[in-house]
């Protein structure tokens, strides 16, 4: 397995890719009623390169991919594959021509075997019958080529998401794909899994496959991509060799404004952290104190103290128990051991309703599934939690509602600034803001944020982090969960490190990303649990 | 403040080294249906004289041949995650069309083709409506059910008897098996259909696509599978099976009547579910559906051997079993989730 930390530099000469592009899109314009999603965009993809398509949400990345794979037909412009003009009728035809796509969500059938998922629709046949033996051995060969040691006869659902994602890639390359499009394949993978994915990507690249890679993780892009194309607001900003473009240049190219916001977050967070230290965050009577709280098969018993005005970060890999811990605090899952005290009094958090009554709010990581109501307007989504808290018998007066909505839409810069817009139509970042605002109107005392910045653009990320720092400064307690350790290290006054569904350490706010990472990588519950008191 | 938090030893299971158990989880429901069948048959053998005969076993097939065929078609639809409520009414309509056209003097082969065309056609139309208007199969096939049942009474309100020599020959003709057991041609037809269906589902791309759609329809679409065609075909197959079952039923009853096969679609659904097919689609076997029908049949036989119980006890037994199996499936899928 490749080591993530030893960032391999792209082989010399590779980025200078010679020869003709396998994909050449020219002057692509895509218009939807009322929106111009792409305007005059050129895009080239060469064989044997990993090419990152960069841009904020709404920059037109997905639209460009959909034009390439035939989901949309471009309003203007031409697409050439190996020098021939093409216009696919859909993903099926694109696939048949060697253009395969792997999406963020695993789009496979969990009820079928790994082998079938790889070869479904093109199984080897004999006399009209599917040859199961041949199907299995062909799948096994493909998996071997990718260096994956899994039983092709096993059912897909038995494997973790990361493996399923790799099976999806196996399916994509099974057609001898010359162009492989990976649309945010890493958003649900942990570090080892990303390393595994990158190993396979490099392998395929070296075999001459052209890989189009979309990711919100800058570090990943810098690790794997040879070249990148940056889009902003549907226009091409530029095409660069990765090594020629610094991270700062890339970010400013993507968001098209100075990096003031990010710097401001840093400053605010630092201020807030200082303030907390002055007031002695850890020594104050805790707002919430959990002792021995745990749930079998979910998370081992843990202790946790959170004071008002404190941001507690939860760090750990995917599946380390971050979300499970949060769900226990919110009563979304029932604890089977331990107790929780709020303001020193024991409370029973058996349902989210009782947690809300104690002033606890929870923004789920599953925005679409457990958060927003896509078919309701921004206004309705915003007042939902407040209405629930008031009880159904006391409707919120229309005026109060409008004032609240106006206030929070301005405060959080929710766009479009139209309270009647359906939430399902908003970008990920704006959906997240609506979700946040929904809880903020209820004035919670403890806000639990599970991956609030996942899958949203940098501008919105910065705004949300800034907001968290401000809320804490105003005295709200925040539990902040993020896979991006930089965010946790930047915002949190204390960092709780989780591993394998147990709390393994607690660090103070000065902990660096490296320290946290070292703990996650090595904490085994023995020597490494040296603690830093806060 | 120094807290040492105990951690459990690293017990992450090694993915690759995990071997599959001897009885794979997904075959378990079919196996348990089989065990249930054997148990019920065993109870009958112990309690009633003459129960343990080849003929009693053969009669299960003879008396339920049409239900077997119906359950096969239903399996296709349920595997895609859909449901077909129209099949009972289509059976009635098929008996009615057959009886009426035979009375009008049409030759038997033409009548058979006509009946098959009507059933399949109705299935195709419902499939197209379900897929292209993205409607709930429940509602669309409910409409199909009313339509088919209503059409029966347009043809005639009375029962029409069938006097056609071919149908009569089929009804009375028997095949002698070793051991003095006889079966009817209907049984042969039903078993051939089960075999063909099993082959189609497991050894053709069409069949695997049925499973893929049941597993995740959106994934199947993105995998480039012909979802629209296969989904419509599933309802067409269900319609075809319903009309074949209708023909078998007219042979069995030798009459056409608008009130034939009332509620038979529910028997078919019950058989499929008891046979271990998940109502959410994607998991199940035709063989399970066959076993499901046999379980229903053996309960009926038990009650008739008992002699004093009303035949409605069959319904009660089926209801209990159905509930039991659905709860079992839920526990089963929850454990796997």
Separation of alpha carbons A409 and B172, rounded Å? 79
ipTM of predicted complex: 0.81
Contact by Cβ (8 Å): A188, A158: no
Q: For A215-243, what is the mean pLDDT?
A: 87
Separation of alpha carbons B198 and A117, rounded Å? 20
pLDDT attached to residue B14: 39
* pLDDT of residue A532 exceeding 50: no
Nearest 10 degrees: Cα torsion A170, A319, A2, A202: 30
Report percent pLDDT > 90 for chain B: 70
- Coil, strand or helix at B53: coil
In a domain, B308, yes or no: no
Contacts of B202 in chain A (CB under 8 A): 130
Separation of alpha carbons B216 and B214, rounded Å? 6
C-alpha to C-alpha distances, A25 to A185, A202, B40, B145, nearest whole angstrom = 23, 24, 68, 52
Lowest mean pLDDT among A25-29, A429-433, B297-301: A429-433
Does the distance separating the beta carbons of B26 and A155 come in below 8 Å? yes
B225 touching A (Cβ < 8 Å): yes
C-alpha to C-alpha distances, A204 to A169, A198, A534, nearest whole angstrom = 10, 10, 47
Minimum distance, in Å, between the CA of residue B9 and any CA atom of chain A: 8
B3 touching A (Cβ < 8 Å): yes
Contacts of A108 in chain B (CB under 8 A): 216, 219, 223
Separation of alpha carbons A232 and A109, rounded Å? 35
* pLDDT of residue B135 exceeding 50: yes
Lookup: tokens for A199 = 């190993």
In a domain, B320, yes or no: no
User: Which chain A residue lies closest to B17 (C-alpha atoms)?
Assistant: A150
DSSP A396: P
Contacts of B12 in chain A (CB under 8 A): 500
Does the distance separating the beta carbons of A158 and B18 come in below 8 Å? yes
Does the distance separating the beta carbons of B20 and A151 come in below 8 Å? yes
Phi and psi at residue A483, in whole multiples of 5°? -75, -20
pLDDT attached to residue B124: 97
Separation of alpha carbons B3 and A488, rounded Å? 21
* pLDDT of residue B50 exceeding 70: yes
Contacts of B203 in chain A (CB under 8 A): 129-130, 132
Q: What is the strand order of the sheet A337-342 is part of?
A: A299-306, A288-295, A337-342, A345-347
Separation of alpha carbons A504 and A496, rounded Å? 8
Count of CB contacts below 8 A, A vs B? Answer: 119
Contacts of A155 in chain B (CB under 8 A): 26
Does the distance separating the beta carbons of B16 and A151 come in below 8 Å? yes
Domains contained in chain B, number = 1
Report percent pLDDT > 70 for chain B: 91
Contacts of A125 in chain B (CB under 8 A): 205
pLDDT attached to residue B208: 94
Does the distance separating the beta carbons of A529 and B4 come in below 8 Å? yes
In a domain, B81, yes or no: yes
Question: What's the pLDDT band for A166 if we cut at 50, 70, 90?
Answer: confident
pLDDT attached to residue B71: 97
* pLDDT of residue B60 exceeding 80: yes
Does the distance separating the beta carbons of B18 and A108 come in below 8 Å? no
Domains identified in chain A and CATH numbers: 1-12+19-98+178-256 (3.40.50.300), 111-175 (no CATH), 261-359+445-455+468-534 (3.40.50.300), 366-443 (no CATH)
Does the distance separating the beta carbons of A91 and B222 come in below 8 Å? yes
Please, which residues 256-285 of chain B have a Cβ atom closer than 8 Å to chain A? 282-283
Of chain B, the end-to-end C-alpha distance in Å amounts to 40
Higher-pLDDT residue of B87, A270: B87
Minimum distance, in Å, between the CA of residue B1 and any CA atom of chain A: 5
Nearest 10 degrees: Cα torsion A309, A496, A329, A105: 110
Contacts of B81 in chain A (CB under 8 A): none
Lowest mean pLDDT among B44-48, B116-120, B266-270, B332-336: B332-336
From A241, A175, A209, select the one nearest A47 (Cα to Cα).
Answer: A209
Which residues is A346 bridged to in the sheet?
Answer: A341
In degrees, rounded to 5, the angle at the alpha carbon of residue A295 between the alpha carbons of residues A454 and A511 is: 50
Contacts of A300 in chain B (CB under 8 A): 6-8
- Coil, strand or helix at A12: coil
* pLDDT of residue B92 exceeding 90: yes
Contacts of A282 in chain B (CB under 8 A): 1
Does the distance separating the beta carbons of B199 and A534 come in below 8 Å? no
Phi and psi at residue A436, in whole multiples of 5°? -60, -50
**Strands, DSSP E only, in A179-285?**
179-183, 210-214, 227-232, 235-241
Question: What's the pLDDT band for A526 if we cut at 50, 70, 90?
Answer: very low
Q: For A57-65, what is the mean pLDDT?
A: 82
Please, which residues 5-64 of chain B have a Cβ atom closer than 8 Å to chain A? 5-8, 10, 12, 15-16, 18, 20, 26
Does the distance separating the beta carbons of A123 and B205 come in below 8 Å? yes
User: Which chain A residue lies closest to B284 (C-alpha atoms)?
Assistant: A111
In a domain, B16, yes or no: no
pLDDT attached to residue A319: 67
B208 touching A (Cβ < 8 Å): yes
pLDDT attached to residue B115: 97
Centroid of chain to Cα A391: 34
User: Which of A121, A163, A316, A498 to mutate: most B Cβ within 10 Å?
Assistant: A121
Lowest mean pLDDT among B28-32, B104-108, B254-258, B281-285: B28-32
- Indicate the residue of A91, A109, A130 with minimum beta-carbon distance to B282: A109
In a domain, B277, yes or no: no
In a domain, B287, yes or no: no
Contacts of B283 in chain A (CB under 8 A): 111
Q: What is the pTM of this model?
A: 0.71
pLDDT attached to residue B19: 46
In a domain, B19, yes or no: no
Q: Is A417 exposed, middle or buried (0-12, 13-18, 19+ CB in 10 A)?
A: exposed
* pLDDT of residue A534 exceeding 70: no
B4 touching A (Cβ < 8 Å): yes
* pLDDT of residue B9 exceeding 50: no
User: Which chain B residue lies closest to A154 (C-alpha atoms)?
Assistant: B20
pLDDT attached to residue A16: 46
Q: For A214-232, what is the mean pLDDT?
A: 87
In a domain, B17, yes or no: no
Does the distance separating the beta carbons of B283 and A121 come in below 8 Å? no
Lowest mean pLDDT among A266-280, A404-418, B265-279, B311-325: A266-280
- Indicate the residue of B2, B205, B283 with minimum beta-carbon distance to A111: B283
Dihedral-angle region of residue A472 (phi above 0 means left; psi in -120 to 50 means alpha; beta otherwise): alpha
pLDDT attached to residue A57: 65
- Indicate the residue of A108, A171, A502 with minimum beta-carbon distance to B8: A502
At A254-282, the pLDDT tens digits run 766 545 555 665 666 566 555 555 444 44
- Coil, strand or helix at A195: helix
Higher-pLDDT residue of A265, A447: A447
Residue with tokens 């209907």: B186
> What per-residue string of b and e applies to B128-151 under the rule 16 or more CB within 10 Å gives b?
bbbbeeeeebeebbbebbebbbeb
* pLDDT of residue B167 exceeding 80: yes
* pLDDT of residue A137 exceeding 60: yes
Q: For A166-192, what is the mean pLDDT?
A: 83
At A297-343, the pLDDT tens digits run 788 899 999 998 899 999 877 667 888 898 899 988 888 888 899 88
Mean pLDDT estimate for chain A:
81
B33's CB contacts (< 8 A; 6+ apart) are B274, B275, B276, B288, B291, B292, B295, B325
Residue with tokens 């817009």: A421
Mean pLDDT estimate for chain B:
89
Report percent pLDDT > 70 for chain A: 86
- Indicate the residue of A120, A151, A160 with minimum beta-carbon distance to B225: A120
pLDDT attached to residue B62: 95
* pLDDT of residue A103 exceeding 50: yes
Q: In which domain, by residue range, is B172 found?
A: 53-261
Higher-pLDDT residue of A15, A453: A453
* pLDDT of residue A149 exceeding 70: yes
pLDDT attached to residue B96: 96
Question: What's the pLDDT band for A295 if we cut at 50, 70, 90?
Answer: confident
Separation of alpha carbons A495 and A489, rounded Å? 7
- Indicate the residue of A96, A111, A158 with minimum beta-carbon distance to B282: A111
Lowest mean pLDDT among A191-200, A239-248, A302-311, B18-27: B18-27
pLDDT attached to residue B13: 39
């Amino acid at each position: 397995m490749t080591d993530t930390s030893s960032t391999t530099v792209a082989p010399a000469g590779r980025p200078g890719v010679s020869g003709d592009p396998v994909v050449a899109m020219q002057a692509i314009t895509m218009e939807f009623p009322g929106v111009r999603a792409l305007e005059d965009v050129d895009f080239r993809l060469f064989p044997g390169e990993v090419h990152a398509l960069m841009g904020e949400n709404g920059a037109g990345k997905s639209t460009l991919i959909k034009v390439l794979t035939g989901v949309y037909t471009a309003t203007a412009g031409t697409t050439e594959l190996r020098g021939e003009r093409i216009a696919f009728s859909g993903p099926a035809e694109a696939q048949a021509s060697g253009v395969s796509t792997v999406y963020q969500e695993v789009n496979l059938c969990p009820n079928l075997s790994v082998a079938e998922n790889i070869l479904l629709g093109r199984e080897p046949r004999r006399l009209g019958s599917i040859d199961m033996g041949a199907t299995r051995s062909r799948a096994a060969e493909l998996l071997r080529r990718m260096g994956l040691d899994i039983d092709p006869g096993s059912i897909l659902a038995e494997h973790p998401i990361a493996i399923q994602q790799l099976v999806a890639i196996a399916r994509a390359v099974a057609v001898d794909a010359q162009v492989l499009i990976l649309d945010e394949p890493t958003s649900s993978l942990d570090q080892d899994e990303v390393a595994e994915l990158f190993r396979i990507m490099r392998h395929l690249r070296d075999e001459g496959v052209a890989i189009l890679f979309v990711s919100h993780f800058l570090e990943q892009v810098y690790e794997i991509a040879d070249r990148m194309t940056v889009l902003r607001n549907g226009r091409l900003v530029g095409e660069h060799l990765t090594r020629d473009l610094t991270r700062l240049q890339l970010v400013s190219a993507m968001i098209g404004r100075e990096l003031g916001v990010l710097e401001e977050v840093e400053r605010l967070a630092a201020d807030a952290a200082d303030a907390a230290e002055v007031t002695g965050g850890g020594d104050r009577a805790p707002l919430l104190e959990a002792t021995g709280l745990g749930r079998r098969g979910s998370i081992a018993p843990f202790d946790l103290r959170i004071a008002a005005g404190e941001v507690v970060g939860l760090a750990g890999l995917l599946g380390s128990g971050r979300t499970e811990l949060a769900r226990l605090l919110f009563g979304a899952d029932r604890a089977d051991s331990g107790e929780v005290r709020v303001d020193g009094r024991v409370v029973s958090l058996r349902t989210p309703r009782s947690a809300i009554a104690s002033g606890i709010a929870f923004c789920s990581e599953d925005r679409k599934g457990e958060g927003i109501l896509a078919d309701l307007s921004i206004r309705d989504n915003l007042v939902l939690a407040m209405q629930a808290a008031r009880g159904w018998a006391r409707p919120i007066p229309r005026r109060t509602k409008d004032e609240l909505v106006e206030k929070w839409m301005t405060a959080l810069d929710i766009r479009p600034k139209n309270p009647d817009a359906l939430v399902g139509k908003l970008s990920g970042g704006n959906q997240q803001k609506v979700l946040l605002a929904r809880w903020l109107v209820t004035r919670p005392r403890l806000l639990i944020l599970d991956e609030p910045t996942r899958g949203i653009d940098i501008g919105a990320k910065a705004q949300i982090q800034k907001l968290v720092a401000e809320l804490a400064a105003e005295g709200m307690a925040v539990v902040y969960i993020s896979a991006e350790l930089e965010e946790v290290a930047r915002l949190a006054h204390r960092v709780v490190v989780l591993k394998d569904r147990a709390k393994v350490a607690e660090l103070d706010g000065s902990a660096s990303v490296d320290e946290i990472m070292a703990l996650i990588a090595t904490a085994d519950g023995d020597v490494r649990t040296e603690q830093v008191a806060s | 403040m120094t807290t040492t938090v105990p951690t459990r030893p690293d017990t992450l299971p090694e993915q690759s080294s995990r071997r599959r158990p001897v009885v794979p989880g997904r075959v378990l429901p079919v196996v348990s249906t089989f065990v249930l069948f054997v148990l019920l048959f065993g109870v009958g053998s112990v309690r009633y004289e003459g129960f343990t005969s080849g003929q009693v076993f053969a009669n299960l097939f003879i008396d339920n041949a049409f239900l077997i065929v119906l359950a096969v078609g239903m399996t296709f639809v349920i595997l895609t995650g859909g449901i077909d409520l129209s099949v009972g009414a289509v059976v009635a309509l098929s008996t009615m069309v057959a009886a009426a056209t035979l009375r009008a003097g049409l030759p038997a082969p033409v009548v058979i083709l006509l009946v098959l065309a009507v059933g399949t056609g109705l299935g195709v139309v419902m499939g197209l409506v379900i897929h292209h208007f993205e409607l709930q199969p429940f509602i669309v096939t409910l409409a199909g059910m009313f339509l088919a049942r209503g059409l029966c009474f347009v043809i005639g309100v009375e029962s029409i008897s069938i006097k056609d020599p071919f149908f009569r020959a089929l009804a009375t003709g028997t095949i002698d098996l070793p051991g003095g057991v006889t079966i009817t041609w209907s049984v042969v037809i039903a078993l051939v259909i089960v075999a063909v269906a099993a082959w189609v589902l497991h050894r053709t791309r069409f069949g695997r696509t049925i499973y893929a759609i049941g597993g995740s329809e959106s994934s199947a679409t993105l995998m480039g599978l012909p979802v629209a065609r296969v989904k419509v075909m599933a309802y067409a197959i269900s319609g075809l099976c319903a009309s074949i079952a209708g023909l078998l039923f007219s042979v069995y009853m030798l009459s056409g009547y608008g009130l034939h096969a009332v509620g038979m679609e529910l028997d078919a659904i019950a058989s499929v579910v008891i046979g271990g097919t998940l109502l959410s689609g994607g998991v199940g076997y035709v063989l399970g559906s066959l076993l499901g029908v046999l379980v229903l049949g053996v309960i009926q036989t038990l009650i008739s051997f008992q002699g004093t119980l009303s035949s409605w006890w069959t319904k009660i037994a089926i209801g209990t079993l159905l509930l039991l199996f659905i709860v079992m499936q839920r526990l089963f899928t929850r454990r796997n989730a």
